[in-house]
Structure 1
């Protein structure tokens, strides 16, 4: 589930993908929209093909005389708001880090909310029951499976009712055309792109469709959309288990870990087996094992959160347990509706029956004996089973040809986007370079000064790092 740390039963007629070419867009009418964190921020909206208007934000280059161009950004998700990130000064893109100073100096940094997301209109709107703690994503029997499918159908129908027919037109293939409309409206001959996590998928699709319009493109925390959904589930399951083990090892030596001296994995397993879950006083109800697992995963994304995760586990296993410390990581982000819809339209549900899903559960539990209760791709795939809108952009072989050199970044210990995805995406992109982050956490941009330094040098010069470069 898309958490705060990180975010239709009628037959809709899907517009054919080929019927949505990008058209020339009008110039953008920027207006001041300063915030406490971004005093020079400017905002606008742009009408694109179809029924959508895209919300935009801009942090102008601070050294206009040395300006390179516009840098389009996407913070991930799907469902992440680039406008919101810039309203907070771009910290979600690490713009507050010293290595990123030249980006602020030499680029107009552009944030946007993709179609259906955030302040763009019409926005994807779903009901509060999209997540129901009483409905398990790991059904134990056929009745539980039918309950999950029924829940997904009802909640999906509510999304369609609230959003309308536009719900069928939110996928990454179409969103890439909107990026081209933004480029045209900006008056830029070519795109500079910084996309993290899902932002790497959107960037790669843009490069596939408009290769000659790419000047530079960073795809960090890479998603390989050519990988079948079943395999992506297994890849991410392995990565999530690895991240939990990394956390447990950190706890054995770090003075910041309140669990130091304990068997962290055994403590985690005992917590997950607590009958009926654990009270979260701030929520006024118990957190289920699946929710606590999701909450802990949300904290594993950034090593800076690991001390808080350890405290949350300690509080949840205390004599008078309280899982409130895990609740902020487990609660749904407001963008979860967009996350669900775009994810379902891009990847779909691979399960064909209860027997099929049960077999996949067995594989997941074997690959992740501790952390099996949550990974983003399992959450997405199980939530898409019964989704009422047909998937228009399912995984398929992806080839990017004829673009300028592109930089793909993957992490050896990334729980959300495994390194195998970055390797696969790099193979699919002609003339790309893979930069490996040997550190911990999701994306090199947010966790590694070395990665940030390499990305900035590339964005400014257009020259990728030497092949085989590893940031340690």
Structure 2
């Protein structure tokens, strides 16, 4: 663990180019709760040790190679996803992936079971608003974020650029000439950066729920705020359907945002910003919408179901914030500038403006004591095989426009779109999973050079 007072200096060190990675030593690590054939390993990288898990191909004679997966975040554990059958790995559409690939998950540096872990002191103060109304509130936010950042300890260079180089170290340790990749949400950023820097070592790559790191922060903030608003309106529209909720959930939501609500889970009254974050977490998966409707109805008496879902106190949040501030720094030049952009956010998201992830990054990284190592910038991908970029028309977290713009930066890529609700196709669309599995197995996206897009539609 790096002492807190030296974290800033340590993070500014230039990443060390590692020699050829040692071969991995796998051992059985299955438990009653995990896949029976689960194997585990650790890989030393400069400044950290990475935790990996693997499900060996069920049909060794037809094995294609290693498929690396990342579930997003920042802060998501790829090792756990593989161990517990997440990321659609247990669905019928992905059955052939289990047959043909060694499926490999890893915890990026600072995340999950990798060591040292990113650890911080208390990160959330309900008295500090992410929408400060005046200069004094702005200064409180800056001071709070700086104090939080100075409590953090962890590995050197947790930024995505360094993580992409760790992926190359994993490839070498696996002994693979080329790897296949399935990344969702933030995992698309890791994958795209790896492909930009090591295109010759990509066999096939799915980037689902695309994040375009080439977009300026201000553009990304407004794009995502509008997408979150759209997701909330889609939920409200669903709820208003015959025989579903039977009342106006959007009006109930607006009333919560105006007044806040008590939460037994917190032991105090929840702020509107906390409630909005809890609602947002449910928009990812339409399967959770019935539960969200019940939570919104119950919130005036007890909002525990909403506050339990907000990210600010989750175990992954220190890594989410620490990595996020390396990749998505605050763009504000001062309090007046923040208020101007906040007004724009309110315009594009008149109901849901109190929480979206890129606003959380921007305001949470304001005053962060460590300069960003990997701020937004374009890194075009050339020389890789055709890469499949996936975006959803109703994704509340990664707007379809990001999939379009990322696809234009990846030479020869194919864009797959879907019209399901929720975040990413892999979690919400059987059609998308079928396309992704077929592509990963064949290595070809099923289009001609003249047709660089594919649709997935309901039914």
Q: TM-score, normalization: structure 2? A: 0.95
- SS of 1:149's equivalent? helix
Uncovered stretches (5+) of structure 1, i.e. residues with no partner: 1-7
**What is the 5 A alignment of 1:20-419?**
20-35=16-31, 36-48=33-45, 50-88=46-84, 90-91=85-86, 93-127=87-121, 129-159=122-152, 162-163=153-154, 166-167=155-156, 169-253=157-241, 255-257=243-245, 260=246, 262-274=247-259, 277-317=260-300, 321-331=301-311, 332-419=313-400
- SS of 2:269's equivalent? strand
- CA change 1:43–1:449 in 2 (3 A) is same
From 411, 418, 433, the counterpart of 2:414: 433
Question: For residues 336 and 446 of structure 2, what CA distance do their matches in structure 1 show?
Answer: 47
Question: For residues 367 and 312 of structure 1, what CA distance do their matches in structure 2 show?
Answer: 25
Question: For residues 279 and 48 of structure 2, what CA distance do their matches in structure 1 show?
Answer: 36
Question: For residues 289 and 190 of structure 1, what CA distance do their matches in structure 2 show?
Answer: 48
Question: For residues 457 and 193 of structure 1, what CA distance do their matches in structure 2 show?
Answer: 13
Task: Please tell me whether the aligned partners of residues 12 and 373 of structure 2 are also in contact (alpha carbons under 8 angstroms).
Answer: no
- SS of 1:351's equivalent? coil
- Listed one character per residue, the Cα deviations across residues 2-44 of structure 1 (whole Å, up to 9, x for unaligned) are xxxxxx6765265565x53343111100011002231110001
Deviates more, 1:262-271 or 1:65-74: 262-271
Matched residue pairs, number? 447
- Listed one character per residue, the Cα deviations across residues 326-381 of structure 1 (whole Å, up to 9, x for unaligned) are 12211532111111011110111111100010001100001111000000000111
Task: Please tell me whether the aligned partners of residues 212 and 402 of structure 1 are also in contact (alpha carbons under 8 angstroms).
Answer: yes
Question: For residues 103 and 333 of structure 1, what CA distance do their matches in structure 2 show?
Answer: 31
- CA change 1:220–1:22 in 2 (3 A) is farther
- Answer yes or no: is 1:468 the counterpart of 2:448: no
How far apart are 1:254 and its partner, in Å? 5.2
Task: Please tell me whether the aligned partners of residues 238 and 244 of structure 2 are also in contact (alpha carbons under 8 angstroms).
Answer: no
Question: For residues 374 and 5 of structure 2, what CA distance do their matches in structure 1 show?
Answer: 19
Q: How much is the aligned-residue C-alpha RMSD, in angstroms? A: 1.4
Deviates more, 1:183-192 or 1:279-288: 279-288
Question: For residues 53 and 137 of structure 1, what CA distance do their matches in structure 2 show?
Answer: 34
Structure 1 runs of 4+ aligned residues shifted over 4 Å read: 8-11, 13-17
How far apart are 1:263 and its partner, in Å? 2.6
Name the residue aligned to 1:3: none
Task: Please tell me whether the aligned partners of residues 215 and 462 of structure 1 are also in contact (alpha carbons under 8 angstroms).
Answer: yes
How far apart are 1:468 and its partner, in Å? 2.6
- SS of 2:213's equivalent? coil
Task: Please tell me whether the aligned partners of residues 392 and 417 of structure 2 are also in contact (alpha carbons under 8 angstroms).
Answer: yes
How far apart are 1:52 and its partner, in Å? 1.1
Task: Please tell me whether the aligned partners of residues 71 and 192 of structure 1 are also in contact (alpha carbons under 8 angstroms).
Answer: yes
- Listed one character per residue, the Cα deviations across residues 25-70 of structure 1 (whole Å, up to 9, x for unaligned) are 111000110022311100010011x211111000111111111111
Question: For residues 115 and 354 of structure 1, what CA distance do their matches in structure 2 show?
Answer: 34
Q: TM-score, normalization: structure 1? A: 0.92
